[in-house]
Amino acid sequence: MPRISYQLYCSRNFPPLADTLKMLADTGFKEVEGFGGLFDDLDALKAGLDATGLKMTSTHIGLDMAEGDAANLIATAKELGTNKIIVPFVMPDDRPKDAAGWAAFGQRLSEAGKPFQDAGLLFGWHNHDFEFVATETGDLPLDLIAAASDDLMLELDLGWVLRAGFSPVDWINKYAGRITAAHIKDIAPEGENTDEDGWADVGHGVQDWAPIHAALQATGVDHYVIEHDNPKDHARFARRSLASIQKF
């Protein structure tokens, strides 16, 4: 059975954090994944984790945070028991415009990751769908990012892979050995869940999870992070998604 975690960004619209963490622990989660905004109140984060016994084994942080405050982030990660640092996004205006730009961005990520890797932490990139829009050379940005360094890991978001029009299984196999965790994310049938941006609870959408799970297991990915970008009810999403994964 893979390790199952919950990306706390799913619950950003359901404060307070302490209640979210209690809900997740009561639902049966043992691990969570953080995001940059939680570092604004570390005392609340630490207190909530301590009170529930949850472990924040991975976290998303902005690239500016990674580049600007690596030493402090490393110290905080080690205090929290976090061993995976993932950069998840770049704003549209800051995205490279061509293949050379994406290759350079991959090098920037690689350089930003070195202090974390030197400290024994894993460092990687989390995709959306914009990395699957071909550049003028026909190369995909995600490939150009990954090519920058074999040490740069990937947290493959399977929902965005499918939304971009690609096969999650193909991309799992393509980057076997480079995927440190997978975001387990489902998409609602076309026209449904429009009030949740078209996302679905895991196992209640269109993803074909049997071959995806088989591919993840065959390539050694044992860290599943469930995510929904905009659930109306985060407790429902957590409960139903965990139940689905436990049946994989």
pLDDT tens-place string over residues 129-178:
999 999 999 999 999 999 999 999 999 999 999 999 999 999 999 999 99
Q: How many CB atoms lie within 10 A of CB 150?
A: 10
What residue has token string 């026209």? Answer: 191
Would the pLDDT of 22 be above 90?
Answer: yes
Task: Encode pLDDT of 51-99 as tens digits.
Answer: 999 999 999 999 999 999 999 999 999 999 999 999 999 999 999 999 9
E-state strands within 127-209: 153-157, 179-184, 186-187, 199-200
Task: Encode pLDDT of 223-236 as tens digits.
Answer: 999 999 999 999 99
Confidence of residue 1 (pLDDT cuts 50, 70, 90): confident
Distance (Å, whole) CA 173 – CA 178: 10
What residue has token string 């387990």? Answer: 184
Query: At 147, which amino acid appears?
Result: A
Burial code of 88-115, b = ≥16 C-beta within 10 A, e = fewer?
A: bbbeeeeebeebeebbebbbbbbebbeb
Mean pLDDT of 25-37: 98
Task: Encode pLDDT of 195-231 as tens digits.
Answer: 999 999 999 999 999 999 999 999 999 999 999 999 9
For the chain, the C-alpha Rg in angstroms (whole number) is 17
pTM exceeds 0.85: yes
Q: What domains can you pick out in the chain, each with its CATH number?
A: 62-232 (3.20.20.150)
pLDDT for 64: 95
Arithmetic mean of pLDDT over the chain: 97
Residues 6+ apart with CB under 8 A from 57: 3, 5, 31, 32, 33, 81, 82, 83, 84, 223
